Amino acid sequence: MAGGSPSPKSGDAAVFARTRFAGQGDLGSAVLRPLRSGTVWVAGAAAEVAWGIRYNHGGGYSYRLCPAGEPLTEACFQRYPLNFTGTSTLRWNDGTELHFNGTYVATGTHPPGSMWARNPIPRIDDEARGSGEPASDTGCRPPAVGRACRAFDPVCAEGMPPWHRIEPKARAGDVEGRCS
């Protein structure tokens, strides 16, 4: 499903604008013409995938497919969840990579038995915005716990500068940060 492109207005979180290709909610199968990529996907084989964070709200994600010959419905995607394999990698704009063991869950997920991966970048919010919790007076430093504080250590090495907000840029790729 197409999301369009980020709106140039300030406070543009989750606001999208129609482009010449599609608008928010348009089905890619209906508005985009098929193009051959030359990529051959082999059933059962592992493939490298990537995603980026613009505004980090924590949580996790899963990947699901729906065969091109079937109607593109949520039920179809739920029938074809993909599993995660191997290690995970954080990749920064300067090409630096950090490889680590991802955290994957396959129990208590929906659809049952599907695999979910935890977002490896902690959501650190000392002001507890949107969590329903009071602002943290400890700065979320150990031993502080709670919904406004990360519940696990970041994958970046200790001693690196604290995590910080990266200002939005014109292109989504510009907001990927360093382990900072």
In-domain check, residue 53: no
For 6, the 3-state DSSP assignment is strand
pLDDT for the residue numbered 125: 54
Do 67 and 95 lie in one domain? The reply is: yes
In-domain check, residue 163: yes
* Cα-Cα-Cα-Cα dihedral sign, residues 161, 167, 170, 176: positive
Among 120, 147, 169, identify where a domain stops: 120
Largest CA distance in the chain: 55
Mean pLDDT to the nearest integer, 27-53: 82
**With 70 as the cut, is the pLDDT of residue 75 above it?**
yes
Do 111 and 95 lie in one domain? The reply is: yes
In-domain check, residue 10: no
What does the DSSP 8-state code read for residue 90?
A: E
In-domain check, residue 42: no
d(CA 29, CA 20): 16
What does the DSSP 8-state code read for residue 84?
A: -
**With 70 as the cut, is the pLDDT of residue 129 above it?**
no
In-domain check, residue 173: yes
Do 68 and 108 lie in one domain? The reply is: yes
Do 69 and 105 lie in one domain? The reply is: yes
**With 50 as the cut, is the pLDDT of residue 180 above it?**
no
**Which tops the pLDDT comparison, 115 or 87?**
115
pLDDT for the residue numbered 33: 78
Do 82 and 101 lie in one domain? The reply is: yes
In-domain check, residue 104: yes
d(CA 21, CA 32): 7
pLDDT for the residue numbered 160: 47
Express as a percent the part of the chain with pLDDT over 70: 56
Residue 1 makes CB contacts below 8 A (sequence gap 6+) with: 25, 26, 27, 28
d(CA 128, CA 149): 8
In-domain check, residue 141: yes
Do 82 and 133 lie in one domain? The reply is: no
Residue with token string 């949580």: 59
The structural domain count of the chain equals 2
Mean pLDDT to the nearest integer, 123-152: 51
Do 116 and 65 lie in one domain? The reply is: yes
pLDDT for the residue numbered 42: 87
Q: How many CB atoms lie within 10 A of CB 149?
A: 22
Do 163 and 146 lie in one domain? The reply is: yes
* Parent domain of 163: 127-179
pLDDT for the residue numbered 84: 92
Among 90, 120, 150, identify where a domain stops: 120
In which element (H, E) is residue 76 found?
helix 74-79
Do 102 and 147 lie in one domain? The reply is: no
In-domain check, residue 165: yes
